[in-house]
Chains A and B, each alone.
Chain A
Amino acid sequence: MAYAYLFKYIIIGDTGVGKSCLLLQFTDKRFQPVHDLTIGVEFGARMITIDGKQIKLQIWDTAGQESFRSITRSYYRGAAGALLVYDITRRDTFNHLTTWLEDARQHSNSNMVIMLIGNKRTQSAFPWTGIICIYSHKLTSLSAIFENVDLESRREVKKEEGEAFAREHGLIFMETSAKTASNVEEAFINTAKEIYEKIQEGVFDINNEANGIKIGPQHAATNATHAGNQGGQQAGGGCC
């Protein structure tokens, strides 16, 4: 319940790239392929541990629809981290990244950590792969292969392209799957690590709430044991 820091995140990106799914997977560890369009913004929160410290992530999952743009911009303010999501099976969502990035940079603080996420969309062209999963765990790996084959065949944006874009704009990059939960944890946690490092380096003024960081009520910092890195493993990136 008590946390050392609270980070505010925003999730942005085109509509339908799986922003809400990512959030749900991260906060509730479940996947819900069908859900309502996000109106304005929805919220999620979860506690993570970094460097032995409890950190609460307060996540603002914004609406991706173009018509909500002017509204969602209002929500950017005071975010410490942003997850910029595109769909690796839809090139247009990748092409729009620049606009999103400009928006984010313009409406939030300059130190905001941005994680670029290539999410993979979920519908499978092989409906029976799911059935196999249910009936036989042994076949799971098989179905995973099918799915990957399926995915790769529909992939429109190469991982290298995402990496290049991230490098060019100074972002962190990962490919995730909200469905299989692959790299989802890591995406959120690595962003938090980056923010945490920036705090340690003194880049963030934690006393300024406009930075999206709040010190927890507990000030746990003083006596926190360095329990090492419990915050999930460093993930290489590719999930496919």
Chain B
Amino acid sequence: GCGKPAPAPDANKEKKPEVRVVKIANYFPPTHPQNIALKEKFKPYLEEKTKGAFKVEIYDNNQLGSEKEFINGVSMGTIEMAVAGLLQAEMLPKLKIPEFPYLFRDYDHAMKVLNGPIGEEITQGMIEKGTRPLAWSVNGLRAISNSKHPIKSLKDTKDIKLRVPTNSIFIDGMQALGFNTVSMPMTELFSALQQKVVDGQENPAPTVLTSGWYEAQKYITLSYHILGPNIMIISEKFWQTLTPEQQKIFKEAALEYAKYEVDLMKKFDPEALAKLKEKGLQIDELTDRPEWEKAVQPVYEKWYKQYPEFKDIVQRIKDTK
């Protein structure tokens, strides 16, 4: 272990350049596409291209603390990198936009927008907060699971107590769709579903599978109401210690990993659904998707009122082909 004393300095005279450790924090379980992509793409790519100058250590499952904690850690420079959600939106409101309900048509549309100039516009200010964005990837298209009855149309939402994250876009969006929303931390969700404190939750199907929530759920609806984007961030303090060549390799590694992750996700989504079906869940499609898209319009209006510049950005996103 590390407890042993280091060998005396003059034991090997030719000083090897020190290997720098890059800790990457995230909140996904080890089997999630995010962690597979980090392990199979980002880590080997970076370590090989930099000829072993860096060693990547992946800390999955909130091992380095919750999302808020590791974002703070990256911004302080105590954690080098992270794959995070959009918690910083409370400081940088434009980051709310990618989570607007029914904004993106599909994964490719989202990736094209977010890894392009609009993505850069949305992430403005992150570097000043110490967290430099490197690449966007996806957490998945969110589906709605519950233990009460199938949800196929807007008529079926009224009597469902749905857990949502403490995030006004989610709360407003799901309420606009007619659900009774309850916010509670993710850690309490499993027992809350099991004990029927809440009837359902909304998350991408792979998350429902990997977290075991399906044990307490009977139905899952492919509502795909929000595309949960993830953003790979690197500590600005750490970034400034890199040479321009190294910076370039980091950026490339990030884009490679992101592309790989989205590909994995496209495969993982149907696989997860098949497994959920095996576990006995009934899978439903929406019969009235246009109605759902219409129902969430008040969420857009609310934010346009507060930030009129959002309207133009949203329009440009919708126009991106």
Report whether chain A binds chain B: no
